[in-house]
Amino acid sequence: MMLVSRRSGAIRWKRLAGIFALLGTMAAGACAPPDQDGTTGTRPDGVSPLFQPLPESAEHPEDNPGTPEKIDLGHKLFFEPKLSRSGIISCNTCHVVGAGGVDAREVAIGEGARTGPRNSPTVYNAAFLAAQFWDGRAETLEEQAKGPIQAHVEMDLTPEEAIERLRVVGYEPLFAEAFPGEEDPLTFDNIAKAIAAFERTLITPGSAFDRYLEGDLDALTPKQKEGLEIFQNAGCISCHNGALLGGQGYAAFSHVEGSEDVGRAAVTGREEDRYVFRIAPLRNVALTAPYFHDGSAATLHEAVSIMGWVQLKRRFTPEEVDAVVAYLESLTGEFPMVTHPQLPRTLPPAPTVTE
């Protein structure tokens, strides 16, 4: 339950009200009798229509279709350390696909052990976010993929250096397959497109909460159902809704007022966006500690307690925190198996021997 704002204008309340109006009637109506396995096929009583199951796949944009060749190339590039100045850091260094898509650090460590001010968000389900980065400065995955490669505190390469490094180790045939018909397919834009295409496959449907939304009354434990009720009644759902339970808007986070990181104001230049950050999505949140944009909450219990008071002015009891955390644990989905790919490595030519 991150980033529930109380600042006027931080959330598009008119749009939210429209959602309530359009979907409110779905909240009424009795559930059908459960089958022997406890499944009714109908949303349980008392569950807000603002919650949506996570889709099993993400759509690829028309200007970047997700072909098998492109996704395979993006898979390799995501693990490619040649895209960092030291040749050590890859996308997977900070967004570890085998560990919830994060690095479990307060803030990421990049080239030369340099650190930025922000926590690495999970790469899983990023395809459904309205904008990328904590301050929303990138609208698409393609745009986001270019940022870390060039950032001084992250991978620290110029586009030209990245292209030349991939050319030297033998990526040209793979780019030709992934971007057929292009005169020069190995470009920085195409590097980003391939990585984005791969990232759109990193979806985690099938959580216990998804099954509950679909009518499996036994998918949640009694404690998780209690936590869900608190989550709705306390107001957490006002920002954490939809398929991701967040990730679609921005909210003021007064917990960090006075810090050097001014959030979205650095992007927009507007004073009203000071300490405003993208609302955190809660899918798989039990696996992505530490929490908040600065990693300042070490545990989910701590994060829930802070958000209850700072954003809702409510002191959750230890029992309430336990229940909400139990509910949040039901948001852990089924992760795809992502192997470490074999990376292209062209051997340098043998030296010329002269007599």
Do 319 and 305 meet the contact criterion of CB atoms below 8 Å apart?
A: no
Q: Catalytic annotation on 154?
A: yes
Do 237 and 247 meet the contact criterion of CB atoms below 8 Å apart?
A: no
Name which of 284, 70, 48, 294 is nearest 177 in CA terms: 70
Helix axes 159-169, 141-150, angle to 10 degrees: 90
Coil vs helix vs strand at 250: strand
Count of CB atoms situated within 10 Å of the CB of 118:
19
Location of structure tokens 């030709």: 176
Do 324 and 304 meet the contact criterion of CB atoms below 8 Å apart?
A: yes
Per annotation, catalytic residue among 106, 142, 154, 320 = 154
Name which of 123, 24, 52 is nearest 331 in CA terms: 52
DSSP 98-152: TTTTB--SSS-B-GGG-B-SSPPPP-TTGGG-SSBSTT--BSSHHHHHHHHHH-T
Q: Give bridge partners of residue 138 from the DSSP assignment.
A: 132
CA 140 to chain CA mean position, Å: 12
Catalytic residue list: 154
